[in-house]
Amino acid sequence: MLVAEAEALAGCAYGVPVARDGSWWQGFDGPLPQNLEQLTASGHVFAITETLIHPHGHARGLARRLQERLLADHQASLGVTLLDQSDHLVFAAFEAWGWQEIGQIHRQPPSPAALRVLVLRLGARTADHPDGLAHNARTQRPE
């Protein structure tokens, strides 16, 4: 958990490391991209489970900064989060912060409805790695 405060609590973001065994991805619609499997197996995927920001005007950009700092603190190469399909305002905010939808996942319980799966790639996009994911010895599938 990461907390931001000035004179009072301004916001927080929290999450958990995604288990290397791939169980976090159970219920994913379709095949999981290989690079996500590799990053998961390497232990460099972190799930942002909640971001809460006080709605006053001087907190502009705070949610994005908290998420990025939390991911950096956990040495993540990829951030992942789940959003309700009907929450269009939150989805628009995440898109504005650079998150991309990669598919849907079904989680039961608590809800049989599909959730959007969003990822935040933390590496630089290059000609060799246009997906922006780090591909190096620490993010390869363990033998």
- Per residue in 85-102, pLDDT (tens digit) is 999 999 998 998 899 999
Question: Which of 4-18, 38-52, 64-78, 89-103 has the weakest average pLDDT?
Answer: 4-18
- What is the domain extent for residue 63? 2-139
Q: What are phi and psi of 52, to 5 degrees?
A: -125, 125
Domain count, the chain: 1
One-letter amino acid at 57 equals G
pLDDT band at 132 (very low <50, low <70, confident <90, very high): low
Residue 11 confidence (pLDDT): 78
Give bridge partners of residue 4 from the DSSP assignment.
Answer: 11
Question: Average pLDDT, stretch 18-43?
Answer: 90
One-letter amino acid at 70 equals L
**pLDDT of 135 over the 90 cut:** no
pLDDT in tens, 8-22: 666 778 899 999 999
Residue 137 confidence (pLDDT): 47
Q: What are phi and psi of 73, to 5 degrees?
A: -60, -30
CATH code (residue 81):
3.40.630.30
Distance CA 115, CA 28 (A): 9
One-letter amino acid at 55 equals P
Contacts 24+ apart (CB under 8 A), 85-89: 85/113, 85/114, 85/115, 85/116
Q: Are 77 and 40 in contact (CB under 8 A)?
A: no
pLDDT in tens, 98-129: 999 999 999 877 667 889 999 998 865 455 55
Please give the mean pLDDT across all residues of the chain: 80
Residue 13 confidence (pLDDT): 86
Question: Average pLDDT, stretch 69-77?
Answer: 88
Distance CA 99, CA 121 (A): 8
Strand blocks (E) in 1-143: 2-5, 9-17, 45-53, 78-84, 100-106, 114-121
Give bridge partners of residue 48 from the DSSP assignment.
Answer: 15
